[in-house]
Amino acid sequence: MADLTATRNSGSGHDLFRVTYRLHCPATVAAALAEDIALEQSVEVPSHLISDEIIRRDFMGRVTGIVSTTEEIHLASIEYPAHLASGNLSQTLNLLFGNVSLKPGIQLIDIEFPESFLSEFSGPKLGISGLRAACNVWGRPLLATAIKPKGSSISELARIAGQFAEGGGDLVKDDHNLVDRHLADFQLRVEACQTAVSQHAKASKACLYFPNLSGTLHDLERQAAFCVELGIKGVLVAPMIAGLETIRHLADSFPLAILAHPTMSGSFLQSGQGISHALWLSTFMRLCGCDGTVFPNSGGRFTFTKEECLSIAAAARQPLGRLKDCFPAPAGGMSFHSLEGMAADYGPETIFLVGGGLLGYSNDLVESTGAFRTRIEELFPNSSPAVAAGMNGRASHVSACEIPVAASGSLGRISAISPLVATSSTESFEARILKFLPQFRWEGREVTVYKQATGLPFAHVDRMELIGKFGESTAFDIRYFEIAPGGHSSREKHFHTHVIIPIRGVGQLECQGATMVLETMDIAYVPPLAVHQLTNVSREPFGFLCIVDHDRDTPMAP
């Protein structure tokens, strides 16, 4: 065992998760339980059944120490090779806590992430200073509220949002249960609230409105796209319901700040098992790209202790690789009179999310908001306008217009759409016309050699990419192929479909065993997995437009 340890530590010391679990069990079984965890979470078979030395060395968890703090509480240190997480949060959770969640008395309380792992995550796009710049608020906590209750009319919700903005509030979010069955309803509500907030925000500073997104990734993308279109700067999401990797993908794909709601997080935070408050509500939220994390404030209607709340706030702000920090957003349990204590507890780098406290202060929401804002400014004298201007200048390099758009998969294409966003993909925002030229050529486009990674045989085929490979935001590509007399495309099949529109000469399509003649402006559809081939049996060139899905599989041999 000593040899293996030496090999791994010397060769790949940066590529381990160093994880601490708190075990609640009698001292006599702590070592065995720690060993169980290390195996259960990695290879999931008893150690004696692992004969392969490479698996033992590179795929198995390993207990590196156990420290007992009381007779019943023990801290077990376990290392896992970081590659077991496959660079995604779904598998990270599966690895570090998946099956262990099913065993009582085990708490995941600390993770030392290797840089190689953290560098794969974009993290929060704005972080604390970026969100400050978007509001133009410096040196004091942001004042935030939620619009509710569900069941209120759109105009009533918009009125609340507008009055909060008018009173000088900084950020108003949807209640997390404002979920619409249809996208159209979401659009109506969000547009009304955004309009109200924009109209009433002060000239000197913005009030941001964060709508609540819900559903599958497809739903979230459609909702997010609409928000971007409206100029909205951020959204509320529920990572524990949507899935952390889903939120990470959303954060990476859209120029939107992300505020995390803790709904469904609580069972992981019950005493004696689960995941520590700091890891679950801050560290994992930063990994999935959240710029702010909402949690129930101590003294409110939930039971988090002040110590637990402060641990969340600390983890939201502390270094985590190159990831930006994240605003802790304690919610609930705040009244006008408790602002002073909150200020002392949490300091300026905080979002004060106030609901009932505002409503209870007076019957006039504009007035209540103004009173809370003024009180917060008194408690943080450095937030005076003069200082704020200076702060703003300092932070000008992180203005809200600079929300970076991460490179990503299919949605990366849609992500590059906001005219508010500075991105290298500005090409996709330009109208363009490819003028048709003699000899079936187009301005600005060149013939490329037709070839395929598959190695399938073909003959005398020219190919020209027209649309889809030049930054356009299309779900499809348009290409022009030209087959010389006697030539043919490769005989192949694939999951994606083709639409073929001949524009020059006459050709022949073999598809699903049948052979058909194709003439100019015919439109041919080749279905999924149909074996097909195009041939030119004429004496003239045969040219056709071919339209395919942008995201598609690789052709296979028949």
Which two structure tokens, joined as six digits, stand for 407? 């490179």
- For its own copies, which is the closer residue by CB, 18 or 496? 496
- For its own copies, which is the closer residue by CB, 395 or 501? 501
- For its own copies, which is the closer residue by CB, 197 or 511? 511
Least distance (Å) from its own copies to the CB of residue 192?
15
Query: What's the sign of the alpha-carbon dihedral 412, 414, 419, 420?
Result: negative
CA distances from 221 to 188, 262, 421, 425 (A): 17, 21, 17, 19
Phi, psi (deg, nearest 5) at residue 154? -60, -40
**Pick from 117, 351, 68, 137: which is nearest to 236 by CA?**
351
Which two structure tokens, joined as six digits, stand for 418? 């906001």
Which two structure tokens, joined as six digits, stand for 366? 């504009």
Burial class, 71, CB count within 10 angstroms (exposed 0-12 / middle 13-18 / buried 19+): exposed
Torsion of CA 5, 9, 10, 12, to 10 degrees: 130
- For its own copies, which is the closer residue by CB, 129 or 497? 497
Least distance (Å) from its own copies to the CB of residue 139?
31
Least distance (Å) from its own copies to the CB of residue 519?
7
Q: What is the CA radius of gyration of the chain?
A: 29
- For its own copies, which is the closer residue by CB, 59 or 380? 59
Least distance (Å) from its own copies to the CB of residue 71?
21
Least distance (Å) from its own copies to the CB of residue 29?
13
Least distance (Å) from its own copies to the CB of residue 248?
8
- For its own copies, which is the closer residue by CB, 389 or 516? 516
Q: Hey, how many other C-beta atoms are within 10 angstroms of the C-beta on 550? A: 16
- For its own copies, which is the closer residue by CB, 162 or 543? 543
Least distance (Å) from its own copies to the CB of residue 136?
26
β-sheet with 73-81: strand ranges across: 62-68, 73-81, 16-24, 106-112, 274-275
